Amino acid sequence: MQRRQFLSILGGGVVLAAAAGTGFALTRTPTDALAPWSAAGGSAYAEPRLRALSYAILAPNPHNRQPWQVELKGEDTVVLRVDLERLLPHTDPFSRQITIGLGCFLELMVMAAAETGHRVEIEPFPEGADSERLTTAPVAIARFVEDPDIEPDPLFVHVMARRSNKEPFDTARPVSDQALAAVLASPRHSGRVGGTNAPEEVGAWRKLTEQALQIEIDTPRTYRESVDLFRIGKAEINANPDGIDFSGPMFESLALFGQFSREVALDRTSAGFKQGVEAVLENTRTAMAHVWMVTDGNSRTDQIAAGRDWLRANLAATAQGLGFHPLSQALQEYPEMAAIYQDVHTRLAPDGGTVQMLVRLGYGPEIQVSPRWPLEAKLREA
């Protein structure tokens, strides 16, 4: 859910003004939940695999579920598995998006490993994979090899500035051909990346992404899947640094006054629900360019490769100062979305293939990093 506008509609500004005078604002940052961003690459993680993993946990991933579990094996190996408690069965029934997020994680790990002179040999799904569902079998086995010839990845410097920007973009600031081209040039794996900044085409994608979002909201079980993951205010976010976070004095004040809660969000007759929906739709309406990724196949290995390239696209957009906001609703595989899914595939993959990702680009306000579980919470004993 988009933040600032939702608040202004609900009258959050007034509440904020009351709260700001108390110094309340200064104390409401969920510092613990954001700590993994400053810990990455620090002295606690001198061992090369841990160091690389301390960055990998900052990867983008659907609904910030952070479904990764890692095990250090022997002297040089990392085994990555998925946490089956952290899937999104309604919006991502085959865990395609979850797998893309794991690909983002692996690419970030590989980039970070290059910084200490390590090449990483990745074997995806060494025990095979099920295309319908993920299992406890390894998602990847990664071997770290010292390599004096390894080149640092030029996108790595943008890792700390990378965000998913879920705010409205500035409709007075177009995305230049050159900035768009930099994003389109970023993949190294198998993803085919396309995009547009042409106003007429962007207009069509704005409409389609808005319709898709509306369907997700109108479908009770898919909407509820998001609302159940709302973390409202500092205490909830620090206790569960994942999901869809709403932090800052305005949200805390609204929660305090009963104007914002999971119950309000689920009550379709409430003003909070209606205004919240308007606010998220506004995001789709302010897209200034769109980028997508198509793969020929849709195997688990294809999805991992798509994720690896998607992380690169997100970092390349960051390098251009662009806001980057994935809009996955139209690509989701459940019956209510089938017509839109078909429409997207007719447009972007007329000769076959799977549209793995769709994102809006533009210039948005600066936003803070999103919460993360610390690496220690994700390490499993061998």
Ligand X SMILES: Cc1cc2nc3c(=O)[nH]c(=O)nc-3n(C[C@H](O)[C@H](O)[C@H](O)COP(=O)(O)O)c2cc1C
Distinct helix (H) and strand (E) counts, the chain: 14, 10
Closer CB to ligand X, residue 33 or residue 141?
33
Least Å distance, CB 297 to ligand X, is 17
Closer CB to ligand X, residue 222 or residue 253?
222
Closer CB to ligand X, residue 2 or residue 253?
2
Tokens 């993994």 sit on residue: 36
Closer CB to ligand X, residue 92 or residue 118?
92
245 neighbors 163 (Cβ within 8 angstroms) = no
Residues that bind ligand X (CB under 6 A): 60-64, 97, 100-101, 104, 163-164, 166, 325-329, 370
Closer CB to ligand X, residue 145 or residue 338?
338
Separation of alpha carbons 22 and 305, rounded Å: 49
Least Å distance, CB 331 to ligand X, is 8
Least Å distance, CB 35 to ligand X, is 14
Which secondary structure element, helix H or strand E, spans residue 237, and what is its range? helix 233-239
Q: Find, among 317, 328, 325, the residue nearest to 159 by Cα.
A: 317
Closer CB to ligand X, residue 16 or residue 112?
112
**Lookup: tokens for 279:** 């606010």
Burial 280-318 (b: 16+ CB within 10 A, else e): bbbbbebbbbbbbbbbeebbbbbbbbbbbbbbbbbbbbb
Least Å distance, CB 358 to ligand X, is 8
70 neighbors 378 (Cβ within 8 angstroms) = yes
Give the rounded distance of the alpha carbon of 139 from its chain centre. 19
Quickly list DSSP for 301-344: HHHHHHHHHHHHHHHHHHHTT-EEEE--GGG--SGGGHHHHHHH
Least Å distance, CB 332 to ligand X, is 8
Closer CB to ligand X, residue 48 or residue 62?
62
Sign of the four-CA dihedral 243, 166, 163, 354 = positive
Count the alpha carbons within 13 Å of 29 in the hemisphere toward its beta carbon. 10
**Lookup: tokens for 221:** 């079980």
Closer CB to ligand X, residue 118 or residue 325?
325
- Strands, DSSP E only, in the chain? 68-73, 77-82, 118-124, 140-146, 192-196, 230-232, 244-246, 289-295, 323-326, 354-362
Least Å distance, CB 262 to ligand X, is 17
Least Å distance, CB 8 to ligand X, is 20
Least Å distance, CB 359 to ligand X, is 8
Q: Which residue is nearest to ligand X (CB)?
A: 60
